[in-house]
A and B are shown apart, each in its own frame.
Chain A
Amino acid sequence: MMIIRKALIRQGHRIAIAPARSWTRALATEVDIASIESSLSNSLRDTKSIELQVQNETIKLVPQIDSRTQSTQNLLEDNTAAKYTQLQQHKKLTNPLGSRIAPHYQPHFLVNDPPRPSDITLELLLASQAHLGHKTSHWNPMNSRYIFGIRQGIHIISLDVTASHLRRACRVVAGVAERGGLVLFVGTRPGQDRCVVKAAQMAGGCHLFERWTPGSITNGHQILGNCRTKVVDEYDREITGYDEELRDRPVLKPDLVVCMNPLENWVMLHECGLNAIPTIGIIDTDANPTWVTYPIPANDDSLRCVQVIAGVLGRAGEEGQKSRREKAMHGNVTYTPSTLATGVSTKGGRTGRSGEDIRGLQ
C-alpha cells in the first residue's frame, strides 16, 4: 500500500528552444560541410534540451515517512521477498491442518509437471480415458489387433497394448534426442497447443499447433527458406562464422515427428513418408495405423489423454537430451557431426569439425 507522490517540476511552457540557425541555400553542386556540421550540432542541442524536459517531468517516487519513527523509508531495503517467503511458510504450516486430501486429478499438473515414462500405468491411462474408441461402425479393421472389445456401441482399446506401444515410443523419442536429433511435436486440435509446446521444450525440439503448411518438407526451401539456422557444438553452444556455408545448405527437416491427431495431419505424415522421416502418432479406432511408423493406439479425442501422451513423450526427450549432454561432458559425442566446408573462411571463422577446434584436439 505505497502512496506514490508525484514530484513534477514544471519547466515552463517552452517545449523546444528555437535554435539560432542560419540556412544558406547551397546552389552550388558542392556540399557545404560547415553548414551541415552546424545544423547537426543545432539538432543535437535540441534533442538534449527535450531530453532534459522529459526527465524533469517524469514521476519520481518519494519515500514514505514512517509515522512511528519519523524516519523515511529506505527504498533500497525491499522486504517484499522476505514477506512472500514468510507467507509461503505460513501456508505450508497451516494448510495441511484439518483433514488429508487424497490424490486427485488437477488438470494443470498434466501440462506444467507432466508424468514420466516410469509413471505409465494402466490406471493412469484408464483415468485419462485412453481406452475409449469410436463407434463400431466407424472403425478401421486394421486396428483390430489393438481392440479389447465393444461396450455401449464403441470399441474399447486394450490398455496393455497402449502402454506397451507408448513405452516403445518413449524409447524412440529418447533415443533420437540422445543422438542429437530434432523432434517435431504436432498437435493441431484446439487445446493441444500447451502440451505440445511443453513437450517440445522438454525434448529440445520444435512444436506445431497451427495448420501444417503443405510442402513444408517437400518444398522446404520455398516455405521455410527464411528460417534462421545455426551451428552448435556438442555442448549446445552456438558457433558463429558459418553464415556462408549455412546459406548453401538445404533447409532443416525433423528427424522424428510426433503427431497427436494423424487424421487431420495426413498430408504431413505423407511428406514424412516420402522423406524417410519416422513418425509417431496417436491412432484411434477410426485412424489408419499404417500412416505412422510407431502407432500408439489411444483416444485422440480426449484432451487429457493427449496431454498424458505428449507429456510422457516430452519427458522421454528430456531424458535423452540430458543423457546426450552428460556424455558430451565426458568427451563422448553421440552423433556424427555434419562436415562443413573445410579451409579458412574469409571471415576468419572456425573451420573443419565443430567441437574439436574448441577443445583444441586437432
Chain B
Amino acid sequence: MEASELTHDETFAQQGVGKMLEPESYITAWRDYQGYLVDRLNRLTADTKDFTRPTKDIALEYARSPTHASLFNHASIAWNNHSFFSTLSPTPSPISPLLTSKLSTSFSSIESFRATFLATANAMFGPGFVWLVKRDNYNSNTPDTTELAILTTYLAGSPLPRAHYRKQEQDMNTELQAGAFGPRSGKDPKMAPGGAMVEPMLCVNTWQHVWLHDYGFGGKREYLERWWDSVDWDVVERNGQFDSMARKPASQGGSRFNLSAGRR
C-alpha cells in the first residue's frame, strides 16, 4: 500500500493550508507523516493477508487484540489523519442551511457548537483527535432521531463503532475513579466501554507535530481557531449522509486488468 493522494495536495504544498499551516508544516504533517505510517504498516503486514487490505479493515480487525496493538495504532492513526486532511480545503465552503439546522438542533446554535468543539479540543492534554459524529438517539422526543455529537479520541483511538474497544475517549490518567461506585469500581473489571453506532463526519488533529512548528507550545488555541476557517463543510455534510434517498453506488470505471491505466 501507498499513501493516498489528497485532492488539494499540490495547492497545500505550495501555499499551505489557508492560514492554518505553512507549506513546510503541511508537508511534515501529511506527506512525511502519512508516508511514514504507511511504510510502518507495510513492514508490519508484509507477507500477510493484511498487506492488501484497506486500512480501516485492519483497524477494525485488530482493535481487540493486545498482541497486535502496534498494527492497530498505525492503521487507526493513518485512517484518522487522512480523515482530518480530507475535510480541509483552500477554498472552504460555508455551513449549508441543512447542516446549520442539524447543528442548531443538536447544539442550540452554531456559535455554541463552535465554542464547545474548540474548548473540548483545547482542553485535551496530549495528542488525539476530536470528532463531530452523527448518531441515532432513540430516546429523543422529536420524530427525527439523528443527532450530532462531539467525540474525543486520545492517541490512536478510533471513532469507528466496530473498534469501540479502542475508542480511548477518556484520558485514563485523570478520569479514572477507583471508588466503590465509579465506572472502574472493580465490579466488572474486564468490561470494555460499550460501542455506539456513530458515523464520523469531521475531525481535528491535535497531535503536536501538526501545530508545533507554526504556533509553538502555547499556540494550540490559535491553531484550532484557524483550523475552523479551513474546514470544507460540504465534505462534512457529505460524510453525514443526511439524505435518505437510496442511491446506487457509482460503478468503477476502467479495467482492473489493465495495470498501466493507473490506480483504482
Q: List the interface of chain A (C-beta within 8 A of B).
A: 68, 81-82, 85-86, 88-90, 92-104, 109, 113, 115-116, 118-119, 121, 123-124
| Interface core residue of B53, B55, B59, B264 (most chain A CB under 10 Å) | B55
Contact between chains at B246 and A99 (CB < 8 Å): no
Report which of A93, A101, A103, A109 forms a contact with B54, defined as CB distance below 8 A: A101
Complex: A92 Cα to B251 Cα, angstroms: 11
Report which of A82, A95, A123 forms a contact with B56, defined as CB distance below 8 A: A95
B1 neighbours in A (Cβ, 8 Å): 99-102
Contact between chains at A100 and B255 (CB < 8 Å): no
- The residue on B at minimum CB distance from A308 is B257
- The residue on B at minimum CB distance from A93 is B239
List CB contacts (< 8 Å) of B76-103 with chain A.
Answer: 78-79, 82-83, 86
In the assembled complex, B221 has its CB within 8 A of some CB on chain A:
no
Instruction: Give me 6 A-to-B residue pairs in the complex whose CB atoms sit less than 8 angstroms apart, sorted by A's number.
Output: A92-B249, A97-B55, A99-B1, A101-B54, A103-B259, A119-B257
Contact between chains at A95 and B54 (CB < 8 Å): yes
Q: Which of B2-10, B19-27, B64-72, B211-219 contacts A (4 or more CB under 8 A)?
A: B2-10
Contact between chains at A104 and B52 (CB < 8 Å): yes
Report which of B4, B75, B246 forms a contact with A81, defined as CB distance below 8 A: B246
Contact between chains at A90 and B199 (CB < 8 Å): yes
B199 neighbours in A (Cβ, 8 Å): 90
B83 neighbours in A (Cβ, 8 Å): 97
Q: Knowing A85-B246, A89-B247 touch, does A99 contact B3 (C-beta < 8 A)?
A: yes
Complex: A116 Cα to B138 Cα, angstroms: 50
A81 neighbours in B (Cβ, 8 Å): 246
Complex: A86 Cα to B245 Cα, angstroms: 9
- Closest 4 pairs (CB-CB, A-B): A98-B55, A98-B79, A119-B257, A85-B246
Minimum distance in angstroms from A35 CB to a CB of chain B? 63
Besides A99-B37, A103-B256, A103-B264, 6 more A-B contacts (Cβ < 8 Å) are A94-B56, A98-B54, A98-B82, A99-B82, A100-B2, A102-B52
Complex: A97 Cα to B255 Cα, angstroms: 22
Q: Mark B27-68, 1 if CB is under 8 A from A, else 0.
A: 000000000011001000000000011111101000000000
In the assembled complex, B238 has its CB within 8 A of some CB on chain A:
yes
- The residue on A at minimum CB distance from B2 is A100
- The residue on B at minimum CB distance from A120 is B257
Q: List the interface of chain B (C-beta within 8 A of A).
A: 1-5, 37-38, 41, 52-57, 59, 75, 78-79, 82-83, 86, 138-139, 160, 199-200, 238-239, 241, 244, 246-249, 255-259, 263-264
A96 neighbours in B (Cβ, 8 Å): 4, 54
- The residue on A at minimum CB distance from B52 is A104
Complex: A116 Cα to B255 Cα, angstroms: 9
Report which of B57, B257, B263 forms a contact with A124, defined as CB distance below 8 A: B257
A99 neighbours in B (Cβ, 8 Å): 1-4, 37-38, 41, 54-55, 78, 82
Minimum distance in angstroms from A61 CB to a CB of chain B? 22
Report which of B82, B244, B246 forms a contact with A97, defined as CB distance below 8 A: B82
| Interface core residue of A88, A101, A115, A123 (most chain B CB under 10 Å) | A101
B2 neighbours in A (Cβ, 8 Å): 99-100, 102
Contact between chains at A89 and B54 (CB < 8 Å): no
Report which of B55, B255, B257, B263 forms a contact with A102, defined as CB distance below 8 A: B263
Contact between chains at B139 and A115 (CB < 8 Å): no
Report which of A93, A95, A97, A119 forms a contact with B258, defined as CB distance below 8 A: A119
Minimum distance in angstroms from B207 CB to a CB of chain A? 16
Complex: A92 Cα to B241 Cα, angstroms: 12
Contact between chains at A109 and B241 (CB < 8 Å): no
| Interface core residue of A81, A90, A93, A102 (most chain B CB under 10 Å) | A93
A95 neighbours in B (Cβ, 8 Å): 54, 56-57
Complex: A360 Cα to B83 Cα, angstroms: 64
- The residue on A at minimum CB distance from B78 is A98
B200 neighbours in A (Cβ, 8 Å): 94
Minimum distance in angstroms from B48 CB to a CB of chain A? 13
Contact between chains at A82 and B255 (CB < 8 Å): no
